[in-house]
Amino acid sequence: MSEESGGAGLGRLEAALVMEAMAYGCPSTSAFISIHNMVSWMIDSVGSPDLKARYLPSLVTMEHFASYCLTEPGSGSDAAALSSRAVRDGDHYRLTGSKAFISGAGVSDIYAVMCRTGDASPAGISCLIVEKDWPGVSFGAPERKLGWRSQPTAVVSFDDVKVPVGNLLGSEGEGFKIAMRGLDGGRLNIGACSLGGAQRCLEDAIRYTRERRQFGKAIGEFQNTQFMLADMATELEAARCLLYTAAAKVSAGAADRTMFAAMAKRLATDVGFKVVNDALQLHGGYGYLQDFAVERFLRDLRVHQILEGTNQIMRVIIARELLRHNLS
């Protein structure tokens, strides 16, 4: 976020480094902070002076937390098909609908809600800032998840919630554009979380294979183990280089920033999960026990291939951008 709003004034590369470092300890917690940071950045980037003054001071200090509400029970990868609707009523909107898989639901203080204020196209979507305690806002039971257990996830429901017109982020019809801009950074951060978690597990695997002995010698002395470690380290560094390149492009506003963010997210999350899975394999039966951290990292990193746009959707974005440009 900008220094004018109390942020550090850093770019996407620096943010990725921070997220990667935090994920070395806990990818779930790092990802939770990434989502909070994304909403704060959205308000800082396109919010009115009044909206910034009311919400950013407590978001910057993390006295309050923010959640991002795009996905719905009936619209996941097809985010533009969302059905939550806000109808203008004088100086308020009346918001009705529900959002699914919302990190921080029931705990976060404010919610950036993508909702339909116009027609059925992406241009009919707007973004409203909604507070947790407003009448008509409710939350489902916490989801029971494979991973990401350090943060709550639940459905958020809106039953004729009165939202002041001043809580519109940007202009009417700009919501989907704002959401997609936020996702460029969110995809980089999730990729960075995968890198950090995978780096931790690679180092744990190196340490373990040096100490664990079988057939009279450390398992790290077997060529098969060495080849696995070599591939893990090489692929992780390749993914890291692409992600840092993509982060620099997003900060610079490069024309191909969205494609590179999608490429980096796809590669970093796929490679990250594979590295952690291989690290668990190298731990043998012990890797399957909660006594070792690698099983937690495996559970946490698996969802990174799904959220912020599935890796199948990343391929759609990449191919679309490649085919859009005339290469002659």
- The letter for the amino acid at 79 is A
Q: Contact, 264 vs 191, CB < 8 A? A: yes
Beta strands 85-89 and 92-103: pairing type? Answer: antiparallel
- Cα–Cα–Cα angle for 204, 207, 209, rounded to 5 degrees: 105
Claim to verify: residue 212 and residue 145 sit in the same structural domain: no
Beta strands 110-116 and 66-69: pairing type? Answer: parallel
Judge whether 19 lies within some domain. no
Point out the domain boundary residue: 171, 203, 230: 171
Judge whether 299 lies within some domain. yes
Judge whether 3 lies within some domain. no
Claim to verify: residue 223 and residue 275 sit in the same structural domain: yes
Point out the domain boundary residue: 123, 140, 171: 171
**CATH code (residue 258):** 1.20.140.10
Claim to verify: residue 307 and residue 249 sit in the same structural domain: yes
Judge whether 260 lies within some domain. yes
> What is the mean pLDDT, run by run of 10 residues, along the chain of 328 residues?
92 96 98 95 95 97 96 84 94 97 96 94 94 98 96 97 97 92 92 98 98 97 98 98 97 94 98 98 97 97 95 96 77
- The letter for the amino acid at 134 is W
Claim to verify: residue 213 and residue 252 sit in the same structural domain: yes
Residue 277's domain comprises: 177-324
Claim to verify: residue 320 and residue 188 sit in the same structural domain: yes
pLDDT at 326: 61
Report helix, strand and coil shares of the chain as percent, to nearest 5.
55, 20, 25
Question: Where would I find the H helices in the chain?
Answer: 12-23, 27-46, 49-60, 175-211, 223-252, 257-283, 294-302, 311-324
pLDDT at 81: 85
Judge whether 2 lies within some domain. no
Point out the domain boundary residue: 143, 171, 199: 171
Report the catalytic residues.
Answer: 308
**CATH code (residue 95):** 2.40.110.10
Which of 38, 101, 5, 100 minimizes the C-alpha distance to 303? 101
Q: Number of structural domains, the chain?
A: 2
Q: Which residues contact 27 (CB under 8 A, 6 or more apart)?
A: 193, 194, 196, 197, 297, 300, 301, 304
pLDDT at 259: 96
Exposure of 9 in the CB half-sphere (CA atoms within 13 A): 4
Q: Which two tokens stand for residue 159?
A: 């039953």
Judge whether 8 lies within some domain. no
Integer Cα distance of 96 and 115 in angstroms: 9
Claim to verify: residue 209 and residue 271 sit in the same structural domain: yes
pLDDT at 277: 98
pLDDT at 74: 85
Exposure of 197 in the CB half-sphere (CA atoms within 13 A): 38
Which of 201, 184, 187 minimizes the C-alpha distance to 292? 201
- Sign of the C-alpha dihedral, residues 99, 104, 106, 112? negative
Claim to verify: residue 140 and residue 52 sit in the same structural domain: yes
Claim to verify: residue 158 and residue 130 sit in the same structural domain: yes
Claim to verify: residue 92 and residue 41 sit in the same structural domain: yes
pLDDT at 325: 75
Judge whether 197 lies within some domain. yes
Claim to verify: residue 228 and residue 160 sit in the same structural domain: no
pLDDT at 77: 81
Claim to verify: residue 147 and residue 182 sit in the same structural domain: no
pLDDT at 76: 77
For 179-217, the pLDDT digits (tens) are: 888 889 999 999 999 999 999 999 999 999 999 999 999
pLDDT at 327: 60
Which of 289, 18, 27 minimizes the C-alpha distance to 150? 27
Claim to verify: residue 33 and residue 162 sit in the same structural domain: yes
pLDDT at 319: 96
Between the two ends of the chain, the Cα-to-Cα distance in Å is 39
Judge whether 115 lies within some domain. yes
